[in-house]
Amino acid sequence: MQKHNQKEHLYKLLVIGDLGVGKTSIIKRYVHQNFSPHYRATIGVDFALKVLNWDAETVVRLQLWDIAGQERFGNMTRVYYREAMGAFIVFDVTRPATFEAVTKWKEDLDSKLILPNGKPVPAVLLANKCDQGIDVLMNNGIKMDQFCKENGFVGWFETSAKENININEASRCLVKHIIASESDPVQSVEPDIIKPHLNSSKIVSCSACFKS
Amino acid sequence: PAALPPAPLGFTDVNLNSRNTYEVSRRRSAPEHLPHGGTAPAEPASPPQEPAERARHRVGIAGAGSSFAEFFTRNFFTKKTKELKPAVQSAPGWKLFGKVPPRENLPKDSKIIQQEYEARTGRMYKPPPPSARRKNIEFEPLSTTALILEDRPANLPAKSVEEALRHRQEYDEMVAEAKKREIKEAHKRKKIMRERFKQEENIASAMVIWVNEILPNWEGMRATRRVRELWWQGLPPSVRGKVWSLAVGNELNITPELYEIFLSRAKERWKSFSETSSENDTEDAGASVADREASLELIKLDISRTFPSLYIFQKGGPYHDLLHSVLGAYTCYRPDVGYVQGMSFIAAVLILNLEEADAFIAFANLLNKPCQLAFFRVDHSMMLKYFAAFEVFFEENLPKLFLHFKSYSLTPDIYLIDWIFTLYSKSLPLDLACRVWDVFCRDGEEFLFRTGLGILRLYEDILLQMDFIHIAQFLTKLPEDITSEKLFSCIAAIQMQNSNKKWAQVFASLMKDNKEGDKNHSPAPKS
Instruction: Determine the topology of domain B251-275+291-368 in CATH.
Output: Helicase, Ruva Protein; domain 3 (1.10.8)
Residue B472 touches partner A, C-beta closer than 8 Å: yes
Nearest Cβ partner of B469 from A39, A47, A97?
Answer: A47
The continuous run of DSSP H or E covering A46 comes out as strand A45-55
What is the least distance, in Å, from the CA of A79 to any CA of chain B?
9
Question: Does residue A203 sit within a domain?
Answer: no
Q: Which residue in the set A38, A47, A74 is minimally distant from B476, CB to CB? A: A47
Q: Name the closest residue on chain B to residue A48, using Cα atoms.
A: B473
Is A163 part of a structural domain of the chain? yes
Task: Give which of A71, A85, A69 is closest to A120, Cα–Cα.
Answer: A85
* A111 inside 8 A of chain B by CB: no
Q: Is residue A77 part of a domain?
A: yes
Q: Coil, helix or strand for B131?
A: helix
CATH number of the domain encompassing residue A154: 3.40.50.300
Q: How many CB pairs under 8 A join A and B?
A: 95
Report pTM: 0.70
B residues 252-291 near A, CB within 8 Å?
281
pLDDT tens sequence for chain B (527 residues): 444 444 444 333 333 333 333 333 333 333 344 344 333 444 444 444 444 444 334 333 333 334 444 444 434 443 333 344 444 344 343 433 433 344 444 444 555 555 555 555 555 555 444 444 444 444 444 555 567 777 777 788 888 888 888 989 999 999 899 899 999 999 999 999 998 898 888 888 999 999 999 999 999 999 999 999 999 999 999 999 999 999 999 999 999 999 999 999 999 888 877 666 544 443 433 445 555 556 778 898 888 888 887 888 888 888 999 999 999 999 999 998 999 999 999 999 999 999 999 999 999 999 999 999 999 999 999 999 999 999 999 999 999 999 999 999 999 999 999 999 999 999 999 999 999 999 999 999 999 999 999 999 999 999 999 999 999 999 999 999 999 999 999 999 999 988 889 999 999 999 988 665 544 444 433 33
The full DSSP string for B10-37 is: HGGGS-GGGS-HHHHHHHHH-GGG-TTT
Give me the domain span that covers residue A123.
Answer: 7-183
Q: Is B15 on the interface with A (CB under 8 A)?
A: no
Whether the CB of B473 is below 8 Å from some CB of chain A: the reply is: yes
The Cα angle at residue B426 between residues B477 and B388, in degrees rounded to 5:
75
**Using the beta-carbon criterion (under 8 Å), do A76 and B472 form an inter-chain contact?**
no
Cross-chain residue pair B476–A49, CB shorter than 8 Å: no
A20/B9 touch (CB, cutoff 8 Å), yes or no: no
- The distance of A55 to chain B (nearest Cα, Å) reads 23
The domain spans of chain B are 162-233, 251-275+291-368, 375-515
The number of folded domains in chain A is 1
Give backbone dihedrals phi and psi of A55, rounded to 5 degrees, phi first: -150, -170
Nearest CA to B6 out of A161, A26, A35, A38 is that of A38
| CATH number corresponding to B375-515 | 1.10.472.80
Q: Does the residue A16 lie in any domain?
A: yes
Quick check: is A157 in a domain? yes
Phi, psi for residue B19 in degrees, rounded to 5: -135, 150
Residue A198 covered by a domain: no
Q: If you ran DSSP here, which 8-state letter would residue A56 be given?
A: T
Q: Is B49 exposed, middle or buried (0-12, 13-18, 19+ CB in 10 A)?
A: middle
Q: Please check whether residue A47 touches B, CB under 8 A.
A: yes
Q: How far apart are the C-alpha atoms of B314 and B11, rounded to whole Å? A: 14
Residue A51 located in a structural domain = yes
CB atoms within 10 A of CB B101: 13
